[in-house]
Amino acid sequence: MNTLEQLAAALPKAELHLHLEGTLEPEMVFALAKKHGAKLKFPDAEALRRAYQFKDLQSFLDLYYEGAGVLRDVEDFRSLTSAYLDKARRDGIWHVEPFFDPQTHTARGISVKTVVDGIVGALRDAEKKHGITWRLIPCFLRHLSEEDALKTWEELKPFRNLFTAVGLDSSEKGNPPSKFARVFAKVREAGLKVVAHAGEEGPPAYIREALDLLQAVRIDHGVRCTEDPALVKELAKKRIPLTTCPLSNVRLCVYKKLEEHPLKKLLDAGVSVTANADDPPYFGGYLLKNWTDCIRALSLEAKHVVQLAKNSFEGSFLSEPEKRKWIGEVEKFAAKSGA
Ligand code: ADE
Ligand code: ZN
């Protein structure tokens, strides 16, 4: 490891774009299938891992939703979340704001309570065990109808004190943010923030829709903003966070190779970008691997690595004093290492 990679590992970091169902490692898929007597299309974990070759977002989502079918009881959601948090801790992550997809489970007859009890149980355990803080974000699946999202919002409402924001994910093309303007108005009325996947595969106009119509305060991915220079300027000026996921973008063929990823360009333009894992086993790495691969592929300098760490706290839903504390910690680490 060179010194920049050591700095990336040592700096305190927050993870702002991580789908809990997307942390399901093939070995856990098989263990849970065995536990529940479920049949899988693949003979073993290795064969499943070999199938992680995607041509676009949809080809990934097909496998991702199928894999999530083995998550059935509170303990499954708890062990899934705990396994992720143990890895996050090893990567030097001190704060997490994970997503989960309630509709993936309620459609199979699994209640929001089962999902939330498992996830929150693990988050509270990790708070005690590792000192990791958290905010939790359920997402609406945008390939489903507005009506389904409205029904899901009613199911989420009794648990709203456990959530900080609600997000929007799944198949982006043809499912613009405007489709969900009414349900997100209800989310905001309930005092929750809005985040949205936009500009991953969809056009920069979807980023504008997410900001203007949904009043999203953070954009997930957002990389296609580079096609609209005025939008990049606006994002930079307003410090609207973009939670990018570089390895995901390469595996889902948004970019042919990591060298083409706009992370460094956006950092240099003053946009508050972060680098996150998205769905780590599917895309070949957790948060720190995203950082270290970008250091190499994009020739990042120490100032970029330090900025990524600062942006991860600045863009989080921590309180202002907590943000200041962590940004101060990042600065201390950077000074100690001469960055
Ligand atoms: N759900 C899980 N990962 C996703 C991604 N990268 N884009 C949209 N929806 C997702
Ligand atoms: Zn995502």
142 touches ligand 1 (CB under 6 Å): no
Per residue in 11-35, pLDDT (tens digit) is 999 999 999 999 999 999 999 999 9
Torsion of CA 233, 235, 236, 239, to 10 degrees: 160
170 CB under 6 A from ligand 1? yes
How far apart CA 76 and CA 274 sit, in angstroms, is 29
Q: Just list the catalytic residues.
A: 200
pLDDT at 2 over 80: no
Provide the residue range defining the domain that includes 137: 3-337
Residues with CB under 5 A from ligand 2 (ion): 278
User: What value does the mean pLDDT of the chain take?
Assistant: 97
Please report the atom of ligand 1 found closest to the CA of residue 170: 9
Average of per-residue pLDDT across 305-325: 98
Pocket test for ligand 1, best of 99, 169, 173, 251 (most atoms within 8 A of CB): 169
Let me know: does 295 contact 247? Beta carbons within 8 Å: no
Domain total of the chain: 1
Bridge partner list, 165: 193
187: CATH: 3.20.20.140
Nearest CA owner, ligand 1 atom 6: 278
Q: How far apart are CA 282 and CA 284, in angstroms?
A: 6
Phi, psi of 252 (to 5 degrees): -100, 15
Residue given tokens 């009414």 in the structure block: 182
Give me the residue label for tokens 């056009």.
203
Q: What is the pLDDT of residue 339?
A: 77
Q: Tell the residue number behind the tokens 């905001």, with chain if given.
A: 188
| Confidence band, pLDDT 50/70/90 cuts, at residue 337 | confident
* Tens digits of residue pLDDT in 215-247: 999 999 999 999 999 999 999 999 999 999 999
**For ligand 1, atom 4: residue with the closest CA:** 170
Contact 248 CB / ligand 1 (< 6 Å): yes
Quick one: which ligand is closest to 100's CA?
Answer: 1
Give 294-311 as a DSSP string. Answer: HHHHTT--HHHHHHHHHH
